[in-house]
Structure 1
């Protein structure tokens, strides 16, 4: 492997964003399905083929740079958590002039003061109207294995409740993998509602959940790339390995002919229990049984041949006792 610059951090390019909303004119709209945006038309058109929707050109608010987007029909998409720590979370306030506040929950990092929102509105500051306080912002970098390119996609949510769940989920995975290896996940938009002060508020929350693997597998250490890309196939292979192996020798011993023994060997080969070239011990034992069946058949053929006088050896079998038939009912007189 070649050398790397030590004074910069290597990272994959960002291909686009995964959003839970879109703009209609100048009006922001929530979406119950994923919105995929990118500068690449190819990526967006591929996403539309996978998850539905019509690709279109689009410009973000307060921007003159044209991008591509598709409002998909999918509320769930498959993704991979990549090595490293993929999650960044801050409380942020933005304006046309850029980021005005960025807080880690305790300290506002731009001014180095204590959290301004909590100081002004208390611990329930997040219930204040949007624009008055910071937005809880979570950014999760994932790879979409079914789209071209080796770059990252950024899923972003401003949900206070999703921030709690994302942090807990990612931290548990990192505890098991130590930030090494890939982890297959599903990003799912889930509708939620909250009742406060007699009012019901409905909102979407992005849920990150394991896909195709159990917590035992996810927390057991780094996962190889093949398992992460196709966890279903890996699970089937593991089930086949763990399944009890049939007693092929017993089946072959009960077979009538060598062809039947060869059928047993073919079954074992299809199940992956013997070497395709017959170089394993089970194959050799089955070949020995097939040879014994051939020898038995040859001996039986020789015994069935006539002697020098043209007579066949016969076996005398006593006649069985005549069957006892049930009495037949007589018709009435």
Structure 2
């Protein structure tokens, strides 16, 4: 078994970026390229074969692309896809900060309360008040305040290689929605396992100050499983990779349907009866064959309680005594019965 550096930060390699816009050259060569909002996803990467695979999957033409600033040339494709199937990786995939960048790099990075570089209270709030983020809606004041920057790492399961793609958005509204969705998922999974999602570019409209603004927002939706399944705990990898093709595993996560397995288990006499009931539940697709689902664990607990109860009854019995005619109660011995099916190895009830 290999060892690891315990203090090293473990993170997957970034394969490329997912963008909701692109830039085109300005008519005036002295001016910066003009940004364009895209209705479809834009993928960029330093590796051409990643972008080529994206073009084959979602349409578009691969082109050489020079990022603004001094970045190295990359490859880019403006796809025809308004939504992408993706997977949230383990851990916390979302990073957020209010940021201001200039030619010298990041000038401000704030958590909403403290600006991390200067260690001063939020500068945008102090300079412009609680509605400072609305200044970014006006091209004249856009560069005077920070942008609510959200970076979300996702896995694109149909792309080559192992790693993550980074979704970056500077939308104030997307920042709030992304954080709410991701935090809700993390509350159920504890940051363990994979979660299937759909990434969608949703057009929004906002009317304020007599002006109507149209803008895109990145939306993350749970894909292929219900909210109950996503919040119950880490999903099996097979379900996360192919929710539509794992109906048996998904049914096991959902728990009982139709029959009240818990009530039936509580009404039987022995742990063997509970085990037989579990086998019926497995045949009905109500539990996972390995016994890792919540219903199996509840049935195991009931079986263990039955064993404890029967053990206490045996310990409380006294030696047999004869009746009025001097006859002892006989123990009935039957022919050897076939062995009952055992619990799965991971679902053995504790003694």
Do both share a fold (TM > 0.5)? Answer: yes
Secondary structure, in 3 states, of the residue corresponding to 1:131?
A: helix
Question: For the Cα contact (< 8 Å) 2:225–2:250, is it kept in 1?
Answer: no
1:200 aligns to what? Answer: 212
State whether structure 2 residue 145 is matched by structure 1 residue 145.
no
Shift of 1:239: 5.8
**Structure 1 residue 237, shift from structure 2 partner:** 6.3
Superposition deviation, residue 63 in structure 1: 2.3
Asked whether 1:45 is paired with 2:52, we answer yes
Alignment-derived partner of residue 72 in structure 2: 65
Distance across 2 between alignment mates of 1:207 and 1:93: 24
Q: 2:245 aligns with which of 228, 233, 239?
A: 233
User: How much does 1:235 deviate?
Assistant: 2.9
Name the structure 1 match of 2:299.
none
Which of 180, 188, 196 does residue 192 from structure 2 map onto?
Answer: 180
RMSD: 2.0
d(CA) in 1 for partners of 2:208 and 2:15? 39
How big is the shift at 1:226?
Answer: 0.7
> For structure 2, which runs of at least 5 residues remain unmatched after alignment?
26-32, 136-140, 259-283, 286-337, 339-351
Secondary structure in 2 aligned to 1:57?
strand
Distance, in Å, in 1 between the alignment partners of 2:114 and 2:150 is 17
**Given the alignment of the two structures, is residue 56 of structure 1 paired with residue 63 of structure 2, yes or no?**
yes
Query: Considering only CA atoms, is the larger Rg found in Structure 1 or Structure 2?
Result: 1
Secondary structure of residue in 2 paired with 1:31: strand
Q: Residues 54 and 135 of structure 1: is their aligned pair in 2 closer, same or farther, counting only changes over 3 Å?
A: same
**Kindly tell me: are residues 224 and 238 of structure 1, through their superposed partners in 2, closer, same or farther at Cα, counting changes over 3 Å?**
closer
Please give the secondary structure, in 1, of the residue aligned with 2:191: coil
Match of 1:165 in 2: 177
- Shift of the 175–64 alpha-carbon distance from structure 1 to 2, 3 Å rule, reads closer
Task: Measure, in 2, the Cα distance between the counterparts of 1:236 and 1:31.
Answer: 39
Deviations 1:228-261 (A, max 9, x none): 00001123665699899xxxxxxxxxxxxxxxxx
In the TM superposition, structure 1's runs of 4+ consecutive aligned residues that sit over 4 Å from their partners are 236-244
Q: Which residue of 2 aligns with 1:93?
A: 100
For residues 7 and 248 of structure 2, what CA distance do their matches in structure 1 show? Answer: 44
The total of aligned residue pairs comes to 247
Give 2:15's aligned residue: 15
| Counterparts of 1:183 and 1:137, CA distance in 2 | 23
For 1:221, the equivalent position in structure 2 comes to: 233
Q: Is the 8 A contact 2:243 2:250 kept in 1?
A: no
Measure the CA separation in 1 of the matches of 2:183 and 2:250.
27
> How many angstroms does 1:193 deviate by?
0.3
Sort the Cα spacing of 1:239 and 1:87 in 2 relative to 1 into closer, same or farther, 3 A: closer
Aligned partners of 2:208 and 2:150: how far apart in 1? 24
TM-score for both structures, normalised by structure 1: 0.71
TM-score (norm. length: structure 2) = 0.68
Which deviations, in whole Å up to 9, do the C-alpha atoms of 1:256-292 show, x marking residues without a partner?
xxxxxxxxxxxxxxx99xxxxxxxx9xxxxxxxxxxx
Residue 28 of structure 1 is matched in structure 2 by 35
- Are the counterparts in 1 of residues 54 and 159 from structure 2 also a CA contact under 8 Å? yes
SS in 1 for 2:142: coil
Post-superposition CA distance 1:17-41 (Å, at most 9, x none): 0001111122211111100000010
Question: What residue number does 1:316 align with?
Answer: none
Q: CA shift at 1:64, angstroms?
A: 5.1
Q: Evaluate the alpha carbon distance shift between residue 237 and residue 104 of structure 1 in structure 2; reply closer, same or farther with a 3 A threshold.
A: closer
Cα pair distance change 1:206/1:238, threshold 3 Å: closer
